Structure 1
Amino acid sequence: MSQPDHGHARKQRFQERLHVLHDTALHRKLKQHFPAAFNERWTRRHWIHASLFATIGALAATIVPGFSNSIEQVLPVSQATLALPLPPLPPTHRSEVPGDSWQVLRVEPGQTLSGLFASVGVPATVMHQVLEHPGTREVLTRLRPGAEIAFDLPVDGELRALRFDRDANHRVQLSLQGGKIQEQVLERVTSTRTVVTSGEITSSLYAAARKAGLSPSAIATMTEEIFNYDIDFSREVQRGDRFSVVLDETWREGERIDTSKILAATFTTGGKTYTGFRYEHGGKTEYFDIDGRPLKKSFMRMPVSYTRISSTFGMRKHPVLGTIRGHKGIDYAARTGTPIMAAGDARVQFAGTQRGYGNVVILDHGRGYSTLYGHMSRFGKIKAGQRVSQGTVIGYVGMTGLATGPHLHYEFRVNGQQRNPASVTMPPPEPLKGAALVAFRAQTAPAMARIRGMEEMLYARAGGDKPATAAADKRG
């Protein structure tokens, strides 16, 4: 063999050896990265596991909808959310955002306006600012028990708005913005229905009237405006007495808000039936009997409401002095603070302290008539020389002077001589005549018909005869 051939053969053997070494190194490298099952000879157990996994994969691809397709889809790119701080909401805009922040309060007996504001955390300075708004003080300072007042108080606690009823038909909303008050008046629709009700006294007049559906204001109208001049409710009312009332009910948004307007009423006691009919004429509203005679007399029988007589007119043993002496008036027991009304139109003759009477008021009614009110806890807004109308509150029940308990000592004087207030007679007022009487009968005819229908049904059920009216007795 020649020398070139020998060198070529040696070179070829060297290259083959390099290929073998390269393949061996690559095989070792791959063997480190693959599981042992791929680097060794598979056994029967390996083939069984591989067949089982292949079968499960085929079943999953068949049962799960879209599984095979989703494998081929490109995975979505992951996204990250970054929270950025927002600028604070301007106060002017925040105050305009509506929300349920109204707090509605119902006025309780004895509760003051300042107490209402304080209960919701509104300072007195804001209350005075509200009261300075025109027309607000007159309404808010005269809120009666049961009235509602609403405060719009957002999270920051500052009063945003105030809402109250000015009357039955109007609601006022005051908005407080930037130290200024803006007023909005909302009209509230009301409806009126006329109803008739009746009752029989079994325990007390008040209980029977409430059972019949009369409100406290309606009871006061019946006892103080209609029959107060003819019936002494402290001693003449008894079990079995009956009453019937025709009245207007005012409704608003499904709620009965007023029942004080009595159109007609009857009251049967002591075998007599007294009647009263509401009639408007000459710019005034008064109550008249069935013959058109005004029920309002020159004097009221009782200058206080819902009381009892604790001492009558005449001789008695004085509860403090212990001596037998004449009692020149009638004592009406009542709670301290019960309002005392002027028995008739008069001029205040005296208001001050006088011996055993304590705090006393004397009224001069003219024509020789005068009345005295003793043992008051305090006086009303009156002073000597002032003119007062019948029904004006002149003071409040107390026990000043010689008294063992709260009551009113009431005297009725004629030319300086004490008379029994329960039995003294006064000349009756003049009845309506001519055109006024015709108008009265036309205006009160519907209420009169309903009263008569109710009474006929009541007395038919009772199985008795209807008592004669007081007007019929007077004519007889």
Structure 2
Amino acid sequence: MKTRHPGPAKVDRSFRPDRALEWAMGAFVLFGMLALFIFVRPQPPAELTSANAAQAMLDFRENLPTASTASRIGQVTAGAAAADVLEVLGASAEDAEAAVAALRQTGLVDRKRMRPGTALTAYFDESAMQDDTSRLIAVSIKPDARNTLLATRQADDRFFVSVLTARMMTSHRRVAGEIETTLAAALTEGGGKPGHATSLAALFPDDAALAAGGLRGDRFDAVFEIAEDERGNFIENGDLVFAAFNGTNSHGSWYRYTPGDSGRTEFFDANGVAAQPFLTRFPIGRVPINSGFGQRYHPLTGYLHLHTGVDYRAPAGTPIQAAGDGVIAFIGFNDGYGKHVRISHKRGFETLYAHMSKSAGLAAGDAVKAGDIIGYVGDTGSATGAHLHYEIRRNGRYVNPMTLELPSGRNLASEPEEYAAFLKQKAMIDALRGATVPDSLMAATLLPVVHTSSP
């Protein structure tokens, strides 16, 4: 008997409605899932869209490598310029020069060399080191008490400078008490500066001891301006506005005031009278001027040089008067000045009178008064004709006799409007001092120790 093996099964290809429905449902589901995958993208939550989405991305930065930024501080010295300092700190020579050049464009730093002592803060991207130098990204300096400069590298590698200027407000500070060592030390301890002591002493020119620092136990009272920012932080000291002194050799009080008509600031006493002039600009009267103070070509040598005085044109033999009270420091002859006289005056001033034909019989050490005749106009020495060469020196330095600010002796009491304005300012200063009468400094209530106060 032969065994029959079953052959391949036949597929029933006849249409069956129940099977067709199953196929249609499966195809629809598959197509729908594919459509969702292709056309639908994940979206952030509604609260993280737009700007908030960008902010949210910052949370991922901690997972990314960051640049290594470092700040280093250096200081300009007499032997190291600003660019040199930046190179020492790690900048390339090109970056250092570019940053310093940008800082100079502000006009707030010297065009040639920054002042020794100027501090620079340099910021580097240390991830971009090359040849032992770091990529300089910014430099900050403070050229003065008011301003801060920041030079930052831009996308084109140029440095752009921003200037931050503090908003300034003027206030006042009072320092009063007794001198224990020197006036400068007492004022500095109270928040002033040594220059305030110099200004105060200059108001009492006949007190040599005060000019040298004062005597122990001498009493003083000073008010000066101070500059503060909008938060009340101290920035710098300003000018002296009031000074009083009650010492062994002198006493008095002075108020700074600027008359509206002249615009010239002076110190006036409590009665509105300015200090009397102690020098004159015109020792032979108001005569024509041949040559003023400043650079000029010498009429004999032809070289450009500083003309250290003023040349007054006058006939030979015209009397020359002492410009102020003083002592003859020198009388003699040399090739330049010819026959000349030099007089020492108070407050560190000297006057010189050159090219005289003869002197008036004086000798070194003789005391003279303002207006005394000390000699006569001539043409001795390096002179092209009869004239007076007149110099004023202050603490050994030449000053322009025509522009030097000298006391005027002006009396505001004779000018009702100016006097009223002066009294108003005086009252403000007295209020700062807590004073009730002009002579309160002289009262026994003056504190024996330094103290400060500000409104």
TM-score (norm 1): 0.45
TM-score (norm 2): 0.47
User: In proportion to residue count, which structure has more helix?
Assistant: 1
